[in-house]
Amino acid sequence: MSLIRCDKLCKSFAGTPVLKDVDLCVQGGEIVVLTGRSGSGKSTLLRCLNALDVPDSGTLEIAGHKLGRGQRSRQALRRETGMVFQQFKLFPQMTARDNVMLGPRKVLGLSRKESQAVADRLLRRVGLETESGKLPAELSGGQQQRVAIARALAVNPRIMLFDEPTSALDPELRGEVLRVMQDLAEDGMTMLVVTHELRFAEKVGTRLLFLDQGRILHDGEPSRLLREPPSERLRSFIGSIYSD
C-alpha cells in the first residue's frame, strides 16, 4: 500500500494556479527529495499533503485516510504526518521538553509521565538531552530545528514532511540537522524533503522530484537526474544552485 497517493491535485491562490494536476505516489520507506525554483509550489504541495492548505480539487490519501470535507478528516491526515518548517516554529513559551511533550499529551492522550519519557527519548535521539529545560530562544537555530524534528516525531507519524529544514540556518549548523535527518532515513522513516541541498538528495534520497510551475517535471533517481539532467530547466536550476 502506498503511504501517499494523490491524483490530479490542484490548488490556486486568488485565481493564480500554484499546483496543476499533481499526481504522486509514495511507498513506505522512500526518501523523496522535492526541489525546484522559488515559487514553483513546493511548500504548497507539502502543505496540501497534511491539509494545512486544502486542495481545490483532486484526491488525496495518506496512509489509508482519504481527505474529505471537515476538520476531522484533516486531523486524521495530520496524525499520520509530521511536519518540520523552515522557521522551526517551536512554541516560544514552552521549554524544549514541553514542546516535544505537547503532542503525546494532547494528541495521543498519554499521561504526563509517559509523555516525558517520549520527550526525553526523542531529545536524546536528536542529541539534545542536556538542553531539554531551555526555552527555544535560548537555543541555536540548529538546536531549535532538532527540537522541532523531535516534536514532530513524538506523535509517531508514518511520514515526515520537511520544508527547507536547513535554509534558515548558518552553513555550519546545517550539518547537525542533516545528520539527524539521515539517521531518521536509515531507520526506515518515509520522508518527503523540500530542499536545495542536492548533495543530501544524492546521498540520502531514493527519489528526486523536480517541480516546475506547479507540475512535477521530473521524477527519478537522484544521482541520475542530477548528473544527466534531462531538461534545460533542470540543468539551469542545478547550475544556479552551485553558482552561489
Partner 1 sequence: MDFRWQVVWDAIPQMVEGAQLTAWITLLGIGGGLLIGTICGLILAFRLPLMHWLVFVYVSVIRGTPIVVQAMFIYFALPLALDITLSGFAAASLCLALNAGAYISEIARGSVLSVDPGLTDAGLALGLSYPQVLLHVVGPLALRRSIPPLGNQFIISLKDSALFLVIGVAELAQKGEQLTAQTGRALEIWTAVAVFYLLMTFSLAMLMRLLERRLTIL
| Contacting residues toward partner 1, per CB under 8 A | 47, 50, 52, 71, 74-75, 78-79, 81-83, 85, 87, 89-93, 102-103, 106-107, 137, 148, 151-152, 155
Shortest Cβ 91–partner 1 spacing (Å): 5
Q: Does 40 bind ligand ATP (CB under 6 A)?
A: yes
The β-bridge partners of 5 are: 25, 61
Shortest Cβ 86–ligand ATP spacing (Å): 7
Task: Considering the complex, state which of residue 102 and residue 117 has its C-beta at the smaller distance from partner 1.
Answer: 102
Dist CA 19 CA 229 (whole Å)? 23
Please select the residue that binds ligand ATP; options are 38, 71, 130, 243, rule is CB under 6 A: 38
Cell of 157: 507519524
Dist CA 115 CA 111 (whole Å)? 6
Q: Does 43 bind ligand ATP (CB under 6 A)?
A: yes
Task: Considering the complex, state which of residue 85 and residue 210 has its C-beta at the smaller distance from partner 1.
Answer: 85
Task: Considering the complex, state which of residue 18 and residue 77 has its C-beta at the smaller distance from ligand ATP.
Answer: 18
- Name the nearest CA neighbour of 165 among 183, 146, 184: 146
Instruction: Please list, residue by residue across 3-31, b when 16 or more beta carbons sit within 10 angstroms of its beta carbon and e when fewer do.
Output: bbbbeebbbeeeeeebbeebebebeeebb
The binding site for ligand ATP (CB under 6 A) comprises: 13-14, 18, 36, 38-44
